[in-house]
Amino acid sequence: MSDPQSIRAAQLREELNYHIYRYNVLGSPVITDGEYDQLYHELRQLEEMHPELITPDSPTQRAGSDLTEDFPKVRHAAPILSLPNAFSVEDLQDWETRNLKLLPAGTQLDYTLEPKLDGLTIVITYENGVLKQAATRGNGDLGDDVTANVRTIRSIPLKIPTRPDGPLAPPLLVVRGEVLFLKKDFEAVNKRQAEQELPLYINARNTASGTLKQKDSRITASRPLSCFVYAVVASGGIKWDTQWETLEYLRDMGFPVAPDAGYFPTLSHIIQQLPTWESRRHRLDFEIDGVVIKINDLRVQDELGFVGKDPRGSTAYKFPAEEMTTKLTGVTVNIGRTGKVTPTAQLEPVFLGGVTVVNASLHNYDQIEKLDIRLGDTVIVKRSGEVIPYVIGPVIGARDGSETPIQPPSHCPFCNTAIVQPEGLVDYYCPNITCPERVYRSLEFFVSKGAMDIEGMGGQTVKMLIDKGLIHDEADIFTLQAEPLLELDGFGEKKVDNLLASIAAAKQRPLDQLIASLGIDGVGSVVAGTLADRFRSVEALQTASVEAIDEIEGIGEVLAQSVVEWFAAPHHQQLIEKFRAAGVNLQAAEKVKAGDSLAGKTFVLTGTLPTLSREQAAALIESHGGKVSGSVSKKTSYVLMGDSPGSKAEKAQALGVTIISEADLLAMVGKQ
């Protein structure tokens, strides 16, 4: 046969088998799991439509195996199955339709929805409540005995039930779960690697796998693995009717069960949940690569049986791939408003998370060196939610020797000033405060929504005004006149009127907003608010010493230094003078005093309040003579607590500080 489909199937078989070899034998994959899944799915679909294309060497015909030579083998109590994949709502609907055809007419299916944890399967055997054995999935029938390593994972109970009120342990209980790194733990592992100047790990899942399969369990113990349990493989006589009850039983027994699992009466309910999951994913403590949908009725699951290594009654819904491999073709140098040099990767176009990505962040040169990223490398690029795409790291196995190291630039590409690396910092800087790129970036930031919020003036307008010589710094904006503006392309009378009106309005922005807009390194809106509050005018802030600023709670010495240095630069002093001359507000508004019922009291805020924002609550306290502080001590009078409070609430309790609610506060100031 040499029709296009059989040619494509042969191509896919060859490619997939090569990637299986790279992954399992060489331990050096050259594509991401997501890319592998896509190829596999394509072959699967081809074979489903044309079963005659299935050959014995097709990767779909074997259960994958991760057996190694390092461990004794153990036979699983029941086959450890895998999951079929769905990539779209349509795939899910087809899955249900196929199942309904196999079941008695009129069957109603309900489901559970669980996160698809991105780790590796572990099968743990308890005899009379005591952990006896733990094995990897292996080839589904035989697994590697990694009991000693699993015993080092703290979330896995060595004895069940772990809760005094838990159900009595049966004589035999074999559970299945997933071993992984919590995101914070993986970051900590890499931080330690960096401290010891060792190479960084790129992929949490592969690192978890490598950690679990260490021959020396002391190495496993030194890295904080976690585990979540989601199924019972075998049990001494106990049977559960549903998956939902199984999860409840496991939780009651004291096993770690992933939070956020849900029960839903129909597939439509499940489908409605999917968009929320894609955004929730980024807030979870662990990596997931999709969700798992299981028919809730376990008898129905049994009845449906399996195809190859995939059960019919459960399926994975995979999120669109967030990681892809592509070629790093170049590195461009960007200069920010503070002069910071950031390298940006130029990539061969790659379709990722619904968009074509052609460039991505490389963080900084220190990171490039630590990850050993070279020009010409095949790299893994990640685009996750709203985050700017970034290069995770190189695929070392794909190198051909033509790759070249990446060096930081010696001179600024915009003003040719020598680039510097301040002592103790990882970043490089263009130190020239009149660098045209720095000026442009500062102005672009100054007018933006998060800063002075000058409506009708975006980056493009700023660029045009600089190019025409109409503005040279932030202050020039406030003396712009109508005539030269009217001559610009696309600027009619109405547009110019509107722009001048929003510039006039911006002259009256509160002091903290002005300070936050200046682009002082490290000074965002919170620090700007604190500075405005303490010094109450630009004049006072300009003459403040490092010590005076450093004394303020929440501001460290580095930040204080950066503020003082900024105001000391003659260029910035001139700028302030020009602001003054143009009539820009440089004073804090008088504090309105509403009463002094809270005089002498110190408050600490934690959590989300029902109606007031943090700023509003702080303003209310201060306007009644009270003080707001950032941390709880014995001197704190009250901790004002809202929803999801942080550790401050615990500290308050430990110190015996009174905890109050928003309603209590309102009552104290006579508002309720």
Asked if 668 and 600 count as a contact pair (C-beta separation under 8 A), the reply is no
CA distances from 671 to 42, 621, 667 (A): 65, 12, 6
Q: In what order do the strands lie in the sheet with 226-235?
A: 130-136, 120-127, 172-180, 226-235
Report the residue number, 292 or 331, with the smaller CB distance to ligand IVH: 292
Report the residue number, 292 or 447, with the smaller CB distance to ligand IVH: 292
Structural element, H or E, at residue 654: helix 647-655
d(CA 354, CA 340): 30
Question: If we measure between CA atoms, which residue out of 63, 73, 234 comes closest to residue 146?
Answer: 73
Give the shortest CB-24-to-ligand IVH separation in angstroms: 15
d(CA 349, CA 326): 8
Chain residues in the site for ligand IVH (CB under 6 A): 81-83, 114, 116-117, 121, 178, 230-231, 292, 311, 314, 316
Report the residue number, 316 or 632, with the smaller CB distance to ligand IVH: 316
Amino acid making up residue 653: Q
d(CA 173, CA 182): 26
For tokens 């900590």, the residue is 188
Report the residue number, 177 or 519, with the smaller CB distance to ligand IVH: 177
Report H helices in 294-434. 298-304, 365-371
Report the residue number, 117 or 503, with the smaller CB distance to ligand IVH: 117
Asked if 517 and 525 count as a contact pair (C-beta separation under 8 A), the reply is no
Report the residue number, 137 or 383, with the smaller CB distance to ligand IVH: 137
CA distances from 527 to 343, 506, 522, 601, 645 (A): 28, 20, 8, 23, 22
Active site residue 671: no
Give the shortest CB-85-to-ligand IVH separation in angstroms: 7
Give the shortest CB-312-to-ligand IVH separation in angstroms: 10
Report the residue number, 82 or 606, with the smaller CB distance to ligand IVH: 82
Give the shortest CB-323-to-ligand IVH separation in angstroms: 16
Give the shortest CB-81-to-ligand IVH separation in angstroms: 4
Give the shortest CB-107-to-ligand IVH separation in angstroms: 20
Report H helices in 143-196. 147-150, 183-195
Report the residue number, 296 or 378, with the smaller CB distance to ligand IVH: 296
The single residue of 73, 101, 116, 591 carrying the catalytic annotation is 116
Give the shortest CB-172-to-ligand IVH separation in angstroms: 19
- What is the Cα gyration radius of the chain? 31
Phi-psi region of 372 (alpha: psi -120 to 50; beta: other; left: phi over 0): left
Structure tokens at 407: 């060096």
Task: Rounding to the nearest 10 degrees, give the CA dihedral for residues 601, 607, 611, 614.
Answer: 60
Q: Which residues contact 609 (CB under 8 A, 6 or more apart)?
A: 617, 640, 642, 643, 662
Instruction: With H, G, I as helix, E, B as strand and everything else as coil, classify residue 301.
Output: helix
Give the shortest CB-380-to-ligand IVH separation in angstroms: 20
Asked if 442 and 340 count as a contact pair (C-beta separation under 8 A), the reply is no
Structural element, H or E, at residue 501: helix 493-506
Asked if 24 and 59 count as a contact pair (C-beta separation under 8 A), the reply is no
Q: Which residues are catalytic?
A: 116
